[in-house]
Amino acid sequence: MAAQGRHGGKKSNKMTALVVDDNTVNRMIHHRLLDNLGIENVAVVNGKEAVDIHCSGKTFDLILMDMDMPVMNGIEATRQLREMGIRSMIAGVSTRSMEREIREFIEAGLDDYQEKPLTMSKLISIIHKING
């Protein structure tokens, strides 16, 4: 779905993203930020849904991964996605600021980490890393 063109035909060249966050407010804002950049995006509410959507065969250029979520948190989800061979850019986004907590998240397989709130400039800096 994320990689299909608007009319369901050939693949679009549009970048695609997956928002993984249990918080409705954050999902709405992240979705809108991505929309404004022309990035097709899908949102799920926890790490397990993020893993499941990949198991269904979908892939994304970018995954915005929250850390603290019920069912499966961002650290475990990132670990599992990397073990599955997912090489997408995974950017951790969280309110956590303690080095120890962030390090564990990064070591699970993140390509980038941004402290919430996610802003347009932070998102653009993440996207530059995909393109760079």
Partner 1 sequence: MLGLAADRLRADMNRLLAFLFHQGILDEQFLQLQQLQDESSPNFVSEVVNIYFHESEKLLRSLRSLLMDREFSDYNKMGIHLNQFMGSSSSIGANRIRNVCVAFRAASEQNNRAGCLRALELLEHEYCFLKNKLHELFQIEQQRVLAAGVRYPMQNI
* CA distances from residue 75 to 2, 44, 51, 53 in whole angstroms, order as listed: 24, 15, 12, 17
In the shown chain, the binding pattern of residues 9 to 28 toward partner 1, with x for contact by CB under 8 A and - for none, equals ------------xxxxxx-x
Where are the alpha helices (H) located in the chain, listed in sequence order?
Answer: 24-36, 47-55, 74-83, 99-107, 120-131
Is there binding between residue 114 and partner 1 (CB under 8 A)? no
Residue-wise DSSP of 69-103: -SSS-HHHHHHHHHHTT--SEEEEEES---HHHHH
Q: Which stretch binds partner 1 (CB under 8 A): 37-45, 47-55, 105-113, 116-124?
A: 116-124
C-alpha 1/C-alpha 111 separation (Å) is 24
What residues numbered 90-109 form the site for partner 1, per CB under 8 A?
Answer: 94-95
Q: Which stretch binds partner 1 (CB under 8 A): 7-15, 39-47, 54-62, 110-118?
A: 110-118
Q: How far is the CB of 14 from partner 1 (least distance, A)?
A: 17
**Residue 18 vs 33, nearer CB to partner 1:** 33
Angle formed at CA 49 by CA 48 and CA 50, multiple of 5 degrees: 90
**Residue 119 vs 125, nearer CB to partner 1:** 119
* CA distances from residue 25 to 5, 29, 31, 115 in whole angstroms, order as listed: 28, 6, 10, 16
Is there binding between residue 54 and partner 1 (CB under 8 A)? no
Among the listed residues 58, 59, 68, 112, the single contact to partner 1 using CB under 8 A = 68
**Binding site residues, partner 1, CB under 8 A:** 21-26, 28-29, 32-33, 36, 66, 68, 70, 94-95, 116-120
